[in-house]
Amino acid sequence: PRILMNFIRSATVGSRLAIGFTFTLLMLFAMIAVSQWKLGAARDTAAKMVDVVMEKERLVSEWAANTGINGVRTIAVAESVNEVRAQQVQKAIKATSARISEIQQSLEKFEHSAAETAMIEEIAQRRKVYVAARDAVFELKKTSPEEAAAQVQSQLEPALNAYVAAIGRMAQHQEKALIEMRVHVFSTAEESTRLLLVLGVLATALSIVVATVIARSIRSQLGGEPT
Query: pTM (2 decimals)?
Result: 0.65
Task: With beta carbons less than 8 A apart as the criterion, state whether 63 and 104 touch.
Answer: yes
Q: What is the mean pLDDT of residues 4-14?
A: 59
Closest CA to 179 of 82, 89, 54: 54
The Cα–Cα gap between 41 and 39 comes to: 5
Predicted pLDDT at 5: 54
Mean pLDDT of the 143-172 span: 91
pLDDT on residue 112: 85
Tell me the range of 33-47, 185-199, 211-225 where mean pLDDT is highest: 185-199
Residues 6+ apart with CB under 8 A from 26: none
